[in-house]
Amino acid sequence: MEKLLARIILVIMAIAFILMIVRQYQSESRAKDERERERERERQASNGTSRYQVRSNLHYDSVLQTRAHRSLVDDSVLEARAHQSWLEAQAAYEPDPEAVSRNLTHLVHMELPSGNHMRRQLGRRWHGPCVATNPIDRCWRCDQKWHTNRKKLADCAMGFGQQALGGKYGRYYVVTDPSDNDLLNPKPGTLRHAVIQNEPLWIIFQRDMVIKLTEELMVNSFKTVDGRGANVHIAYGACITIQYVKNVIIHGLHIHDCKAGNGGMIRDSEDHFGIRTRSDGDGISIYGSTNVWVDHNTLSKCQDGLVDAIMGSTAITISNNHFSKHDEVLLLGGSDLYPMDKVMQVTVAFNHFGKGLSQRMPRCRFGYFHVVNNDYTHWGKYAIGGSMNPTILSQGNRFVAPLDPYFKEITKRFGPDLDWGSWNWKSEGDLFKNGAIFTQSGNGRKYERKISIRAKPGSYVGILTRFSGALKCKTGTPC
């Protein structure tokens, strides 16, 4: 009996020893895999490789899978596009960004309707005639014949994305079919067929439709996707990718419930296709692209970000959008290891950051960011954040802090305290409600010298953002 008991004890000890070795091996393997992933991210940051090869925030089952993807997808066309896109970014870079900011705030200041009566009326549910309440909207809205001159919209962008032409000089393309069944040879009449064309196009929709994309929608240069006149939802599948292109306008869409795609062979132009790795699940992903305008869209509930701009993207305006029900909203600069994002210049204007939002409105790296006349009625953790010494100019926004006393602070800096003291984060004319606090840093005098025209104060934000989101435009009536 004693011998049997001794044998049982030995077996138990052996099993315990084997389990210990297995756990140690698994732990070391996971650590090794994580180090490999980090090295891949560093290589991407230093080399500027395309997402056809590897992308910094993708999740792979193993490093071997990543290497297999890379070996399959080396692509000289994409390499050439990446190089050209970097040249475009340098050309689009504004050496005096304060001049762009001053011009926008000047237009807001000059054109905004004034008076307490107007402010009270627009603060309620509006049933009156068409009213355009900010300078972007005043450029095109409230024209009964808007549908006969849709391309006037291309003259209305302001801020850093003001040069975005979209498909202004192209023909109209009418989307008639919401299906998305062929990624290599899309069916004519589908949105995918429209956006991959090499020629400039102004893309409109024949009727209301819900488009569930099989994989991410690769948008080519010189495209406007214009949802006015129809109720268009891009939802429940992959969503929009703008990679290594220029002059794109996204307007009047409902973008929500976006999922990560599985990747695969996808066409991105008439004369090129390639293997894509998994997409992130962003509503709109802007990757190495310039002159992009995202205006009057309604975005919510995506798997990753609602709008992400990374990898040297610049000359971007994000305006008149309504954001809700999401965690990480706007990412502007995707990695601390990618200093080429110093060229990034983005205007965030006249947006409503609404219910159910948590953070990143926006979250910035390296570049210059003008955040002007937005309405922040909800946030969970913080509203505006950043790392790697971004310049953030916050003007005329309304910040309504959450009830939680631990999250009254609007800003969040990522990095050692000694680093961010010199970062230029300036608040001017903002309205702080419910105990909201904006911690400024850097050289405020730099802005005071250059800002001769002040933005409208945050008390006007309710008017400026009153009609944010996708509009219910109808043919033959003012929009």
Instruction: Say if CB 462 and CB 116 are below 8 A apart.
Output: no
The DSSP 8-state label assigned to residue 283 in this structure reads: S
Q: Pull the structure tokens for residue 302.
A: 């995506």
- Residue 473 counted as domain residue: no
> Quick one: 52 and 104 in the same domain?
no
Residues 385 and 312 in one domain: yes
Report d(CA 11, CA 13) in Å as an integer.
Answer: 5
Looking at the fold, whether 52 and 118 belong to one and the same domain comes out as no
Residues 59 and 104 placed together within one structural domain of the fold: no
Single-letter code of the amino acid located at 347: T
> What is the C-alpha to C-alpha distance for residues 78 and 142, in angstroms, rounded to an integer?
42
Residues of the chain with pLDDT under 50: 27, 31-32, 34-35, 38-73, 117, 120, 448-453
Phi then psi for residue 307, to 5 deg, are -135, 125
Q: How many structural domains does the chain have? A: 2
Assess contact for 206 and 173: CB atoms under 8 A.
no
> Which of 105, 107, 106 shows the shortest CA–CA distance to 395?
105
Q: CB burial class (10 A; 0-12, 13-18, 19+) of residue 296?
A: buried
Domain boundary among 53, 82, 111: 82
Residue 442, exposed/middle/buried by CB under 10 A (0-12, 13-18, 19+)? middle
CB atoms within 10 A of CB 68: 12
Whether residues 60 and 134 share a domain: the answer is no
Same domain membership, residue 174 and residue 65: no
Is the backbone peptide bond immediately before 339 cis, with ω within 30 degrees of 0?
no
Q: Which helix (H) or strand (E) holds 79?
A: helix 76-92
Q: Sign of the CA dihedral 74, 260, 337, 35?
A: negative
Q: Are residues 53 and 117 in the same domain?
A: no
Decide if 472 is inside a domain.
Answer: no
Q: Is residue 89 part of a domain?
A: no
Pairwise CA distance, residues 169 & 274, whole Å: 28
Q: And the tokens for 318?
A: 């994000």
Nearest to 419 by CA among 386, 467, 451: 386
pTM attached to this predicted model: 0.83
Residues 57 and 182 in one domain: no
C-alpha angle 307-141-348 in degrees, rounded to nearest 5: 25
Cβ(30)–Cβ(61) under 8 Å?
no
Q: Residue with structure tokens 């991959």?
A: 196
Place of tokens 């290497």: 67
Establish if 477 belongs to a structural domain: no
The verdict on 416 and 393 lying in the same domain is: yes
Do residues 328 and 280 lie in contact, with contact meaning Cβ atoms separated by under 8 Å? no
**One domain, residues 26 and 175:** no
CATH number at residue 311: 2.160.20.10
The residue from 82, 108, 130 where one domain ends is 82
- The confidence score (pLDDT) of residue 127 equals 63
Question: Which of 385, 374, 387, 424 lies closest to 407 in space, CA to CA?
Answer: 385
In sequence order, which ranges of 198-334 are alpha helices (DSSP H)?
Answer: none
Residue 189: is it exposed, middle or buried by C-beta count within 10 angstroms (0-12/13-18/19+)?
middle
Establish if 121 belongs to a structural domain.
yes
Residue 427, helix vs strand vs coil = strand
Q: Which of 24, 49, 82 is the last residue of a domain?
A: 82
Catalytic residue among 55, 81, 278, 360: 360
Cα-based distances in Å from 56 to 273, 276, 309, 431: 22, 14, 13, 37
Residue length of the chain:
479
In this structure, the answer to whether residues 136 and 74 fall within a common structural domain is no
Q: Can you count the helices (H) and strands (E) in the chain?
A: 10, 31
Domain enclosing residue 32, as ranges: 2-82
HSE-CB for 211 with a 13 A CA cutoff? 30
Q: Reply yes or no on whether 102 is catalytic.
A: no
Is residue 123 within 8 Å of 462, Cβ to Cβ?
Answer: yes
- Would 272 be classed as within a structural domain? yes
Look at residue 91 and tell me if it is in a domain: no
pLDDT on residue 371: 97
d(CA 276, CA 262): 8
Do residues 67 and 172 both lie within one domain? no
Q: Specify if 396 maps to a domain.
A: yes
Give strand ranges (E) for 61-168.
none
CA dihedral 333, 335, 339, 341 (to 10 degrees): -20
Helix (H, G, I), strand (E, B) or coil at 413: strand
